[in-house]
Amino acid sequence: MTAPETAPIGVFDSGIGGLSVLKALQAELPHQRYVYLADSGHAPYGEREPQHIIDRTMAAVDYLIMHHGIQALVVACNTATAIAIHLLRVDHPQLPLVGLEPAIKPAAQHSRNRRVGVLATRGTLQSEKFRVLHAGLAQQTEFILQPCDGLAGAIERQDEDRITTLSAQYCAALGPCGSAPGLIDTVVLGCTHYPLVADRLQALLGADVTLIESGAPVARQTRRVLPHIATEGKSETRYYTTGRKEALQSAVQRWSQADALVSTLEI
């Protein structure tokens, strides 16, 4: 049985990073209901074993289907998409699924210098899915792949000092950036946590560098796969976390300037 248009869209991330995607969804589909699930109690995923990510992603999806009857799921996490989305498609063939992957194709199209930096988690960059994506584009564009160990975790904890240190370290590791010929002129934010600190990354990389993220294209893709689109009524978002309620609440306030009704969850 297909879920009705009043059924919410599930949005799942290892933590608060998916809020950057949720914002784009709310702009693209303003009348829809959403259930946001942050697995903050088990984040970050980026440096964990694949089996941990698979188990957590499966548990989250089962919860969203059983308790919220979602009509579609956005896996707002590059790492979970890279490691687990093919298994979700097997387990839930009826459920429209939208995943995220580092936007290296749009970045390659955008880069005049054909030099693109990619900031992502180690799990994403080491995945087979990313290897295939990269191999298909590496002929025309040089990609400088930078795993950012610890950065998503620091953003998750809102640990400002650590965010500053790691952002500086990883931006410097990319090498010279700017619009002059030969430099990296485009940088992909290949983890949904990174747009939450985009201002800081932009300041480090320089104003000439274009940052590419996936929120808006993912929202458009979600519109395409939805069986039903609500065209009227108020949007409503419910937030769940396996971590600390206050952490998600303050991230929503900071990121969306909205008060959030957050519940904690054990799955």
Least distance in Å: CB of 92 to ligand DGL?
20
Size of the site for ligand DGL (CB under 6 A): 17
Which residues fall within 8 angstroms of residue 125, CB to CB, at 6 or more apart? 118, 145, 147, 190
When binding is defined by CB under 6 A, the residue of 193, 222, 237, 252 that contacts ligand DGL is: 193
Q: How many CB atoms lie within 10 A of CB 146?
A: 21
What is the spatial distance between Cα 155 and Cα 150, in angstroms, rounded to a whole number? 9
Residue 44 contacts ligand DGL per CB under 6 A: yes
> What backbone torsions phi and psi does residue 173 show, to the nearest 5 degrees?
-65, -25
148 given a catalytic annotation: no
Closest contact distance (angstroms) between CB of 38 and ligand DGL is: 10
Q: 142-147 and 115-120: which strand pairing?
A: parallel
Does 13 help bind ligand DGL (rule: CB under 6 A)?
yes
4 DSSP assignment: P
For ligand DGL, which is the closer residue by CB, 7 or 88?
88
241 binds ligand DGL (CB under 6 A): no
For residues 45 and 63, which CB has a smaller minimum distance to ligand DGL in the complex? 45
Using alpha carbons, select from 217, 65, 82, 90 the residue that is nearest to residue 147.
Answer: 82
Length of the chain, please? 267
Is the torsion defined by CA of 239, 244, 249, 250 positive or negative?
Answer: negative
Catalytic residue among 148, 171, 177, 191: 191
Q: Which of 29, 43, 107, 174 binds ligand DGL (CB under 6 A)?
A: 43
Residues 63-82 that bind ligand DGL (CB under 6 A): 77-79
Q: Give the containing element (helix H, strand E) for 61.
A: helix 50-68
Q: Which residues are catalytic?
A: 77, 191
Annotated binding site for substrate: 13-14, 45-46, 78-79, 192-193
Could you list the residues that contact ligand DGL (CB under 6 A)? Answer: 13-15, 17, 43-46, 77-79, 121, 124, 152, 191-193
